[in-house]
Amino acid sequence: MTVTVTAVLIGMHRAFLPPGAGPDGRVSLQYEQEAVTLGDVMRDLSMPRDTVRIVFLRGMPISADQVLDDGDTVTFVSPVSGG
């Protein structure tokens, strides 16, 4: 079984886009395993856990242990602060 997950990297997370990724910050990852987690995606994008603050799946924030389904899109959002 192949599981395909699309990651959308926004803001500072774009630094982790692999070569050949689209200019829109999207990258598709394929896995030959049944259980794929957000942590697997972070590992394969070489994203240290301490750089990831907010990730959304279907409009809801998720954690690194969230199991992903084939066709899921996860969005990595950089926190913004100001005054």
- The CATH code of the domain that includes 26 is 3.10.20.30
How many folded domains does the chain comprise?
Answer: 1
Within a domain: 44:
yes
> Residue 23 CB: number of other CB atoms within 10 A?
7
Within a domain: 82:
no
**Is the pLDDT at 50 greater than 90, yes or no?**
no
DSSP the chain: --EEEEEEE-GGGGGGPPTT--TTSEEEEEESSS-EEHHHHHHHTT--GGG--EEEETTEE--TT-EE-TT-EEEEE------
81 confidence band (pLDDT: 50, 70, 90): low
Tell me the percentage of the chain whose pLDDT exceeds 90: 73
**Is the pLDDT at 70 greater than 60, yes or no?**
yes
Which single residue is written with the structure tokens 């990297």? 9
Contact 52, 76 (CB under 8 A): yes
Stretch among 40-44, 54-58, 77-81 having the lowest mean pLDDT: 77-81
Please provide the average confidence, as pLDDT, over all residues in the chain: 91
- pTM across the whole model: 0.89
Contact 82, 19 (CB under 8 A): no
**Is the pLDDT at 82 greater than 80, yes or no?**
no
Q: Backbone phi, then psi, for 51, in 5-degree steps?
A: -90, -10
